[in-house]
Amino acid sequence: MRGMPTFRIRQAAELLGVSDDTVRRWADTGRLTTTNDPSNRRAIDGAVLAAFAEELAATTPVRHRRTVAQSARNHFTGLVTNVIKDTVMAQVEIQAGPFRVVSLMSREAADELGLAPGVLAVASVKSTNVVVEIPED
């Protein structure tokens, strides 16, 4: 199983859909807690970033635009914010910008992927199926 990831300022900004400067401002004012990575550069713990992404999404209005084109397959890169497991199944929640994606999968799949709050994941959506993938580092 993987250790808890940390995200650099640029990565966090991409995941939150804001600029690097905005993330730095949030960190400087204490709104977003940072640590230092092994290279002594600012980083954000994955679980902290996931909780912040949920908070941000809850307070940010979603702007709906008219659809002019549509894709049969969509990929939502985001942070795992919650994983609920029983003996057979797992419910995985991903916060991808302002969008919350929920996937139901086998517990075995969730365990094999190492899904936990703060893990970077990609929800691939086709029709009514959501497949969760772990991108390369």
Task: To the nearest 10°, report the CA torsion of 125, 128, 132, 135.
Answer: -10
Residue type, 102: V
Q: What is the pTM of this model?
A: 0.66
Per-residue pLDDT, 133: 83
In the chain, the domains with their CATH numbers are 6-59 (1.10.1660.10), 74-133 (2.40.50.100)
* pLDDT tens track for 7-63: 999 999 999 989 999 999 999 999 999 999 888 999 999 999 999 999 988 887 766
Q: Nearest-CA neighbor of 76 among 95, 58, 62, 53?
A: 95
Q: Give the integer Cα–Cα distance in Å for 63 and 42.
A: 31
pLDDT given for residue 37 in this prediction: 86
pLDDT digits (tens, 9 = 90+) for 61-93: 766 666 555 454 678 889 999 999 999 999 999
- The separation between CA 117 and the C-alpha centre of its own chain, rounded to angstroms, equals 8
Q: Is the CB of residue 100 less than 8 Å from the CB of residue 88?
A: no
